[in-house]
Each structure stands twice: as C-alpha cells, then as structure tokens.
Structure 1
Amino acid sequence: MLVPTDGGSELALPGGCILLLPAISVGNVGQLAIDLIISTLNMPKVGYFYTDCLVPMVGNNPYATNEENAKDLCTSAEVYALPSRKLAVLQLRSPIVKKKSKSFRQLLISWIKRCAFAKVILLSSSHAYQRDDQQLFGTPFRYLVTPVTQISMEEVVKELQWKAMEKVSSYPGVNDEEKMISIPGGGFTKLLYDDCCSEEIQMAVVLKFCSEGDNIPDAFALLNHINEWLHLVGQSNGDFSTKWKIPSSWRLLFGSGLPPALF
C-alpha cells in the first residue's frame, strides 16, 4: 500500500508521468543511479510503500543538505516526484523478503496501473562473468522493451544505437536451438519484465553488465546512458558525470574509514 506524505488517500500525479525504479541487482547499480537522479534533481518525497514484502529498514535522510532535513527518516521503499517534469522515481533500499517476490510485483503492477504511468523504466544490472559469447563484444549496456512499447521505442533505439538483450541457450551444450532471455544477478528484473508483458504495460529495462565492487562508476555510466534518451540533465564538454550531484549519504558508502588507532 502506498502512503502519500501529504496525508491524502491517493498519490496525486499528473497524467503521462514516467516512472523510474531500480532492480535490487548485482552491485546495486540501479539503486545508486536512482540516488543520483533524486539528489541531482532535488526531487521531493511524495509517498512511501507500507508493505511486508520488503525487509524493514529505517534511516536518516540520505539526501540531507542541512542539519534540519538530515533528521528526516527514510524507509525501504519511497516515491519521489517532479510533477512539473512529469517524472516519478521509486527508490528501493532493502531486499525483497524470500517467497514474497510475486506479491511485491503484483503490488507494483497494481500501483503502476492506478497511476497510469506513460512509461516505466527499470534500471538494472547483470553479472559480467556470466555473459554469453555474443555478449562479450561491444557495449556493456543492453535494453528490453515490452511488446506494447516496441513501436514507440523503435526510432529511439535506432537513433541511440542501443543493443537489445540477446537470447541465450536454455540448455547450453545440450540444445542450443531453444533460447530465452536470461539476466543472472538481475534480481526481479526478468520476472517484472514478464509481468509487464502480460499486463501490456509500457516498460523498458536498461541494464549494464558489471561485477561486485566499487560500482559507483557503473552507476554513473548507466545514468549517462539513460540520459542520452531522457535528457534529465544537460551535457557539459561531452561529460554528463560532472552534472550529477552525489548525495550526502555516499560519504559513508564504504564505511567511515580505518581508525587511526590501528596504526
């Protein structure tokens, strides 16, 4: 259930909004990219999901800019929006409870339909080491679109020269003729994509092959890739990354450092 921060019974968003959300996937790349969008565009929080499908968590405001708003609390699933730009963002901060993935996806689909989003864009990632031979060449980015989105995205992907996610063998070495879409390390990416296909929802998945580690560069790269399409920020000297604003919470992304007493 979505709870609006203004105390209303339903979240008021203008028609035709685009929704961006992350998959909880390898390197948390999608979540880091969403952090950058919220921080850069200074998007206000408009609601949060009250659900038992996500591991409960609470913390301080990850986008604090002063002592006063640093005391604001954040939870596991929050919605931020800029109605003037017809843009909404759902940030997920904790994993889905085991065996409740289907329930959470149904909750998302129901909310997406109620809000009548013009398009849903899922930012995700996949294990680089599990790529098929054909996926080792060229760009590390891939996209997927639901059948109802195919026509509207045809010119976009052609202009941007984006590469579609390849189908790989269902049983490598046994039956190479039977192929399927596989996104190892992508969390609920493939399942949510399948749900949106069945429900005829306008959806695009944009992902990057990567490995676990310092995935901040991967987040910047994925966001720059998306920005070529959505134009969330302007370009400066051929480099988008200088335009993205790093949230205050990233100062402790890898902990607070080693205690000097150790030395």
Structure 2
Amino acid sequence: MFVSSDCSAQPDFKSCTLLMPAVSVGNVGQLAVDLVISTLGMSKVGYFYTDCLVPMIGNNPYATTGDNTAELCINAEVYALPSKQLVVLQIRSPFIKNKYRPFCQTLLSWVESCRFAKVVLLSSSHAYQRSDQQLFGTPLRYLLSPAVQKTDEELMQKLNWRELEKIAAFPGVNGDEKVLYIPGSGITKLLFTESCSKGIQMIVLLKFCSEGDNIPDALALTDYLNEWLQLTGNQQSSSSPTKSSRWKIPSSWKLIFGSGLPPALF
C-alpha cells in the first residue's frame, strides 16, 4: 500500500498518469524511469509498502549535492510532478518468488482507489526470442488495454508505432489462435491482462533487448515514451540513429557497473 511522506495529508493523484517499470531483462524499464525522475526533478511523496519485493535500502540515487547524498531510498518509492499530472512508482529490487500476483492485485487496487487516469508500464523482452515478424523494423512495441484504445490508438497510428505482435498458441498445428508472448518481461503480461479484465487504462511500452550495457536501450525507451507524452520539448524521433541527449543521467549511474578493479591487483 502507499504510505505518504507527509503524515498530515495524502496527495491527490486523481486524473494523473502513473508511470512505472517492470523488473525485466536488462532492467531497461527501471533505468528509463530513473531518467524521467532525474530529468524532471520529481519530488518523492512517499513509498509503496509491500512484502512482495526483496527488501533493500541505499543512498539517494538522484543526489545532486553533498547535502542530499545521505538521504535513504528503499525498494519501491513514489514521486510526483503536479504540473504535468505525472506520478512515478520506481521499483528497485526483484520480486520474491510467487509474489507476482499479490503485488499486481495490490497495485491495481491502489490505482483504482486513487483514480489514476491511466497507467504506463515500461518494460523489455528478450531480443533472441522474437518471432519472425518481430525481427523487422523498430525494436520498440506498445500494447493498449481495451479501455484506452478509444482515446490513444489513433495517436499511436499517427506516430507509426507498432503494436506488439501476438504469436501462434500452437505453432505448426493451429495458426489461428494467437497469444501474447513477452519472455523476460517479469510482471508485464500479468499486469496487462489483469488491467484489461478490470477495465483499467494501461499502456505498455517495451523494447526488445539483451543483457549487457542497457543504457542505450533505456535512452531509446525514454525517447519512445517522450514522443507520445512530450515530457520534454524538442524531442527527436525514436527512429533517429542519434540518442537523445536531453535526459539527465542520475548520479547513481556512476556505479552502474561497479567501482572498477582495485589497483592492488596489478
């Protein structure tokens, strides 16, 4: 459940857009959310208390001065930017085994109680497990729940975005029955299907990728998001070969690959 940083008042999230990542291959969604929070200078308004995530604690990942470096962060925190009606739930640790479904149920109950306008889920999927038709064109895809198709599907078509293709449920036997297949995407499929059944407006934006240096993937996914929501101005097209340079890299990314080799080894 959501716990506000201000004990005297609960923030009003009505009609806001909730942006969140899936813990998926390459942690691309989480890295993209980091870029949004850091660039927009979003303020922390509380945290999401749950026993479904591995417990963790660390220093402020968005520290800008020595004064705020020692501020602590935990596994699921909520940030807000009222001027853009944007709320962000950042998830920083993996799920405990068999806790996917309880988390999705708790999260969607919170979404309904807060009356969010829509939920945007940033995710990723294994590039090596793409179907033949997914090998062509951009590695970026989207999914729309039925509740949001009436309002956003036309815009997606104007942007020339590609919806995530379904694959045959029984390859080589019956090609008529199609199913969603998003390997490596964590809670993405479960959260999306639950949102569809509950009539929640959900948009999934994802990128096919592989494990490794996933910063370029995160930049591409954030550009993709910005092309639609226009969080920052003068955004380049997601099809551009040059990556956007207007995203502010969080200070915590300096240690994204560790602290290097100790000189004493040589």
Calculate the TM-score normalised by the size of structure 2: 0.95
Residue of structure 2 equivalent to 1:5: 5
Q: For the Cα contact (< 8 Å) 2:216–2:243, is it kept in 1?
A: no
In the TM superposition, what are the counterparts of 1:33-112 in structure 2 within 5 Å? Answer: 33-112=32-111
Instruction: Give 3-state SS (helix, strand or coil) of 1:69's partner.
Output: coil
Residue of structure 1 equivalent to 2:254: 251
Calculate the TM-score normalised by the size of structure 1: 0.96
Instruction: Give 3-state SS (helix, strand or coil) of 1:51's partner.
Output: coil
Between the aligned partners of 2:8 and 2:190, the Cα distance in structure 1 is 31
Residue of structure 2 equivalent to 1:145: 144
Between the aligned partners of 1:220 and 1:237, the Cα distance in structure 2 is 12
Letter in 1 for 2:164: M
Between the aligned partners of 2:51 and 2:147, the Cα distance in structure 1 is 31
Residue of structure 2 equivalent to 1:225: 224
Residue of structure 2 equivalent to 1:207: 206
Instruction: Give 3-state SS (helix, strand or coil) of 1:193's partner.
Output: helix
Between the aligned partners of 2:84 and 2:153, the Cα distance in structure 1 is 23
Letter in 2 for 1:245: K
Q: CA deviation at 1:14?
A: 4.5
In the TM superposition, what are the counterparts of 1:93-242 in structure 2 within 5 Å? Answer: 93-235=92-234, 241-242=244-245
Between the aligned partners of 1:237 and 1:175, the Cα distance in structure 2 is 42
Between the aligned partners of 2:118 and 2:177, the Cα distance in structure 1 is 31
Equivalent residues, number: 262
Between the aligned partners of 1:118 and 1:240, the Cα distance in structure 2 is 30
Instruction: Give 3-state SS (helix, strand or coil) of 2:245's partner.
Output: helix
Q: For the Cα contact (< 8 Å) 1:234–1:240, is it kept in 2?
A: no
Letter in 1 for 2:119: V
Letter in 1 for 2:249: I
Between the aligned partners of 1:176 and 1:212, the Cα distance in structure 2 is 31
Unaligned runs of 5+ in 1: none
Q: CA deviation at 1:237?
A: 7.4
User: Does residue 261 of structure 1 match 2:259?
Assistant: no
Kindly provide the CA deviation profile for residues 11-40 of structure 1, in whole angstroms up to 9, marking residues without a partner as x: 312531111000000000000000000000
Kindly provide the CA deviation profile for residues 79-103 of structure 1, in whole angstroms up to 9, marking residues without a partner as x: 0001121000000001111111111
Cα-Cα RMSD: 1.4
Kindly provide the CA deviation profile for residues 32-82 of structure 1, in whole angstroms up to 9, marking residues without a partner as x: 000000000110100101211111000000000111111111000000001
Query: Runs ≥4 in structure 1, deviation > 4 angstroms?
Result: 236-240
Q: For the Cα contact (< 8 Å) 2:13–2:87, is it kept in 1?
A: no
Q: CA deviation at 1:8?
A: 3.9
Between the aligned partners of 2:235 and 2:156, the Cα distance in structure 1 is 23
Q: For the Cα contact (< 8 Å) 2:144–2:153, is it kept in 1?
A: no
Between the aligned partners of 1:154 and 1:8, the Cα distance in structure 2 is 40
Kindly provide the CA deviation profile for residues 89-124 of structure 1, in whole angstroms up to 9, marking residues without a partner as x: 000001111111111001100110111111110000
* Alpha carbons of structure 1 residues 19 and 58: separation in structure 2 relative to 1, 3 Å: same
Residue of structure 2 equivalent to 1:22: 21
Identity %: 62
Select between 140-149 and 233-242 the one with higher mean Cα deviation.
Answer: 233-242
Select between 194-203 and 253-262 the one with higher mean Cα deviation.
Answer: 253-262
* Alpha carbons of structure 1 residues 113 and 237: separation in structure 2 relative to 1, 3 Å: closer
Instruction: Give 3-state SS (helix, strand or coil) of 2:12's partner.
Output: coil
Between the aligned partners of 2:107 and 2:8, the Cα distance in structure 1 is 19
Unaligned runs of 5+ in 2: none
* Alpha carbons of structure 1 residues 236 and 225: separation in structure 2 relative to 1, 3 Å: closer
